[in-house]
Structure formats: C-alpha cells, structure tokens
C-alpha cells in the first residue's frame, strides 16, 4: 500500500498519477476531518470510470497507514508574505515531527518521500525523527526542477523534452544549481547549442517557474510535483532502478557529509540504491559545497526545534 500524508493539491495530484499507473492501493491521510475521505471518494469514482483495479481510501488517523511500504509526505505550510523563514521552519518542523513519529510507529518498514519545504532541511529532520536508514528517506525536488529546465530548453530549441537530459543539483529553491555543461540534448551539451546569454535566460526561467505559477493562478505548482512523485514511486515499487535527481543523504560524496541535498540517485525497492557522482569542475564543486553548507546551517536550526 502507498500512503499519502496531506490531501492538499500536491497530495491529490500525486494520488491521481499513482492511481492511473495502478502502482498499488492508496490511503490518503489529512488532519482536516473529511478532506481525505472526500478526495478518496472522488478518486474512487475516477478509478471506477477508468476501469482501474485499485482501492483508494481516506482517513484523518495516522494508524491507517499501517502496512504501507511507501509513504509520501506532502503535508506542510507554504510560506506566506508575513512569515519569516524561521516561522516557516518552526511550523513545518512541528508537522514533520508528528508525521515522522507516526510513520515510525505504524509503517516502520516503509520508504518515505517528502515535498515539505524547506525541502533538504525537512528531509534531514524526517530522517532524524524516524530513525530510518538514510536510504529510506528521499526528498523530492530535482525531478521538478529538472523537468522545468527541460521544458524551457525544449521550447527554446524546438525539440521534445524527452530529448533533454537536465542537470539541476544542490539546494532546492532559488539557490538551486543548474549545470549547463552537464545538461544534454541528444547527447550534446547545452553549452554547445546555445550562447551564454540564452543559458542564463533558461536558468532564470527555471528558478522563477514556481513564483510565476503562483502569480498567474494564485497557488503553487501541483500537477508537476504530482507527476514527479508518481514516477519516483513507480521506480521504487517496480524496482526499476531509474536515476532521479533527489535530495538524499550524503556521507562523503562530493566532499559532503551528513546532509540531504539534490544529486542523481538510483531509486529501487530499497529506496536509494546508489548515489552517482557527477564530474563537477572546481567551480561547480565549490558552489555545490557552499549549497550544502547553507543546508547544514538550516539543519542546525531545525534540530533545536525537534
């Protein structure tokens, strides 16, 4: 069974994509009474219309995640205009602590993915609260950032996004690191296909994508994260061992230790099966390590709140 904690827009979008793939039965959990149950009922009707052979149920009780081998955490507060970074960290730390303790009690053998921001810091916090092996906790971000970069490159070059292999690493958010030298289109580096000014424009579009969506429609991205979570879940449930850019625990890779940060990782039935080390040049490696240091400072703040 797959449990999704958080029946907001991202959680429900993920449930739709997972249901269509028929990966497993789904339990939606939300602390707001009726929300998860109502979404599950509607999704169940959708599954019936599409002829999908899965069961979808809703609950506001964490104990109903019992037996799950995959738990996806989408619960969390978005940052509001009047909130400081510390306010957001504190509010989401409370959520991560409650959810992590529930996972530890009711789904102790599960692999966990999460989207809660600030992503890399919260992944570390969830790992600490559950006490799980690091390979069983995975932060979602790189698939979304990479997907956005591939979208803009494809539009720029007039090719299918399927022909683009994007490379976005480091901290999720405005400080993400786009590596154009290791971003390929049909095997050719992006730096050989467009000039420096275009590379800069593509980076800016990628970094600004989330804000642009909020500006246009009033709330943050949900369809793309839902799709990203589903393809990652598929690789885990089917042991596909596909490579996804994810926030995972580093223990010496890239010269970084004891931090969750975005890098390419092989995902399979055991969670993070392997971490791939990219051939970063001196400048790229320095930027990556600075990103890791910034996350570490945030982790130190978080640990005081857990």
Residue numbers annotated as active site: 172
**Dihedral of the alpha carbons of 13, 14, 16, 19, in degrees to the nearest 10:** 180
Asked if residue 172 lies in contact with residue 123, where contact means CB atoms within 8 angstroms, the answer is: no
For residue 302, give Cα distances in angstroms to 59, 80, 92, 123: 29, 19, 10, 11
Alpha carbon distance 280, 286 (integer Å): 9
Instruction: List phi, psi (to 5°) of 75.
Output: -70, 145
Instruction: State the DSSP code for 31.
Output: S
Nearest to 8 by CA among 26, 22, 31: 31
Q: Is 82 exposed, middle or buried (0-12, 13-18, 19+ CB in 10 A)?
A: exposed
Say if strands 164-165 and 137-139 run parallel, antiparallel, or are unpaired.
unpaired
Asked if residue 158 lies in contact with residue 211, where contact means CB atoms within 8 angstroms, the answer is: no
DSSP secondary structure of 146-208: HHHHHHHHHHHHTS-GGGEE--EEBSSSTT-EE-GGG-EETTEEGGGTS-HHHHHHHHHHHHH
Element (H, E) at 139: strand 137-139
Alpha carbon distance 259, 20 (integer Å): 34
Asked if residue 55 lies in contact with residue 25, where contact means CB atoms within 8 angstroms, the answer is: yes
């Amino acid at each position: 069974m797959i449990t999704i904690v958080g029946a907001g827009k991202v959680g429900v979008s993920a449930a739709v994509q997972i249901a269509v793939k028929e990966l497993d039965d789904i339990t939606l959990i939300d602390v707001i009474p009726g929300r998860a149950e109502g979404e599950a009922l509607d999704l169940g009707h959708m599954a019936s219309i599409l002829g999908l052979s899965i069961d979808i149920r809703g609950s506001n009780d964490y104990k109903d995640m019992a037996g799950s081998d995959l738990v996806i955490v989408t619960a969390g507060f978005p940052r509001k205009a009047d909130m400081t970074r510390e306010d957001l960290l504190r509010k989401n730390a409370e959520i991560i602590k409650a959810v992590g303790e529930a996972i530890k009690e009711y789904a102790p053998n599960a692999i966990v993915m999460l989207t809660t921001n600030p992503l890399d810091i919260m992944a570390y916090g969830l790992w600490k609260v559950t006490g799980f092996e690091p390979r069983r906790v995975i932060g979602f971000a790189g698939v979304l950032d990479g997907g956005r970069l591939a979208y803009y490159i494809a539009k720029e070059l007039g090719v299918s996004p399927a022909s683009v292999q994007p490379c976005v690493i480091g901290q999720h958010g405005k400080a993400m690191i786009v590596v154009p030298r290791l971003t390929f289109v049909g095997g050719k580096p992006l730096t050989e296909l467009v000039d420096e000014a275009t590379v800069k424009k593509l980076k800016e579009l990628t970094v600004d994508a989330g804000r642009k969506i909020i500006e246009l429609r009033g709330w943050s991205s949900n369809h793309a994260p839902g799709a990203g979570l589903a393809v990652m879940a598929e690789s885990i449930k089917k042991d596909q061992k596909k490579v996804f850019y994810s926030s995972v625990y580093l223990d010496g890779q890239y010269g970084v230790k004891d931090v969750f940060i975005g890098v390419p990782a092989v995902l399979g039935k055991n969670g993070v099966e392997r971490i791939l080390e990219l051939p970063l040049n001196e400048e790229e490696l320095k930027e990556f390590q600075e990103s890791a240091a910034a996350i570490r400072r945030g982790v130190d703040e978080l640990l005081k709140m857990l």
